[in-house]
Chain A
Amino acid sequence: MRTIKISITNDSSYLAHIRRFVYALGIEEGYTEDDISDICIATDEALTNVIKYAYGDTSGDIEISFFMEADKFSVLIADQGKTFNPSPISIPDIEKRIKQRAKGGLGRYLMRRVMDVIEYKAQPRGGNELLMVKYL
Chain B
Amino acid sequence: MSKISINIRSRKSSTEEEIPIVEIGGSLDAHTAAQLEETFKIFLNNHQYKIIIDFSLLEYISSGGVGLFMSIIDEVREHSGDILLVNLRPGVLRVFQILGLHKIFQILYNEEDAVAKLVSSPKEVK
Contact = CB atoms under 8 A, between A and B. Distances in A.
B64 interface: yes
Interface stretch (A68-76, A94-102, A124-132): A94-102
Interface in B83-109: 91, 94-95, 98-101, 103-104
Q: In the complex, which range does the number of interface residues on chain B fall in?
A: 20 to 34
B104 A94 contact: yes
Sort A-B residue pairs by CB-CB distance and give the 8 closest, nearest first: A16-B2, A12-B31, A106-B63, A48-B30, A103-B67, A103-B71, A107-B63, A12-B30
Contact of A15 (B29, B72, B74, B94): B29
Interface string B72-88: 11110000000000000
B68 interface: yes
A45 B62 contact: yes
Interface string B35-64: 000000000000000000000000010111
B125 interface: no
B63 A101 contact: no
B25 to A, nearest CB: 13
A92 to B, nearest CB: 7
A113 interface: yes
A11 B71 CA distance: 24
B66 interface: yes
A110 B95 contact: yes
Contact residues on A (Cβ < 8 Å of other chain), bracket: 20 to 34
Contacts of B71: 101-103
A41 B95 contact: yes
A15 B101 contact: no
A51 to B, nearest CB: 7
B29 A48 contact: yes
